Structure 1
Amino acid sequence: MSYRGHFTVSQDNQVIFTYAAGGWDVMTARDYCASFKKAAASVYHNPWAHILLLDDWILATPEVEPVILDLAHWSLAHNLVCTAKVYRENMLKQYQLDKMNPVSSVTYRQQEFTEQQTALDWLASEGFKVDCDQFELGRV
């Protein structure tokens, strides 16, 4: 596993997939935001969902937090309605994620999962079904 931060962003139907790994600095975060917005441009005219695969993510420098929080607010302003975060229990990871993500509301729902399939099932129950065979949901 690389400790340098990296990511992949892909899209199917109205769902954006993010795989994040390594330790993120502000340059990685800015590159991610650009890739994410490019992918979201094809879905944000209607409600959409986001699934993040975070088991291999090793946290971020403090400077990353406002960059990702800005992206979260941008996403909400552009019709994001559901987020599923997938990672093994990790209190430090959860703490940093909480600092970078808005809280759930009437128009925005989020859940944390330890298994990818459970997260995909939840997204499907929220109206966001995807074809799992189309994605490399595992490791990059």
Structure 2
Amino acid sequence: MQEHGSFKIEVIDQTLIIKCFDAWNLETVIRLCREYKEHVESIKDKPWGCLVDLSQWELSTPDMWDEINKLNEWGNINNQKYEAVICSMSLQQVLMEDSHTALTNVETNFCDNIEQAYDWLNSVGVLKI
């Protein structure tokens, strides 16, 4: 099946930054999980953070959450310590809070915008912007 929706991933300092766009299907999520792990390989030797920008994301098919839960469990055992999440709708935050029960070693902060997220990640020492 063809992917629906898209994302951009980059690493800055000890932070993985993910910007999500449009509505996703399972194929998009599977590619995200693969690329996420590939990018984290270069920073997982020290504590790292993740910024998830959902401000332009329109949700996904329900089957995505099993893959996201597996990814969160992977982050737990691969030195992830922080996650900043930007939501544009309250439903996104509810869904993310649900999925974050798997992030037992990770401190999560929900932010209103990218500046807040950068400031918080800077304050915990994983981003120097």
Q: TM-score, normalised by structure 1?
A: 0.84
- Identify the residue that residue 116 of structure 2 maps to in structure 1: 118
Q: 5+ unaligned residues in a row in structure 1: which ranges?
A: 132-140
Structure (1 or 2) with the greater strand fraction = 2
Q: CA deviation at 1:52?
A: 0.8
- For 1:73 and 1:102, the matched residues in 2 are separated by 10
Residue 90 (structure 2) pairs with residue 91 (structure 1): yes
Q: What is the aligned partner in structure 1 of residue 69 from structure 2?
A: 69
Question: What is the aligned-residue RMSD (CA, Å)?
Answer: 1.5
For residue 129 of structure 1, give the secondary structure of its aligned residue in structure 2.
coil
Q: Report percent identity of matched pairs.
A: 22
Q: 2: CA distance between counterparts of 1:10 and 1:16?
A: 6
Moved segments of 4+, more than 4 Å: none
Aligned residue identity for 1:108: V
Does structure 1 conserve the Cα–Cα contact (< 8 Å) formed by 2:47 and 2:79?
A: yes
TM-score by length of 2: 0.90
Q: 1:134 is matched with which residue?
A: none
1:44-63, aligned counterparts within 5 Å?
A: 44-63=44-63
Gaps (5+ residues) in structure 2?
none
What is the DSSP-based 3-state SS (H/G/I as helix, E as strand, rest coil) of the residue aligned with 1:83?
A: strand
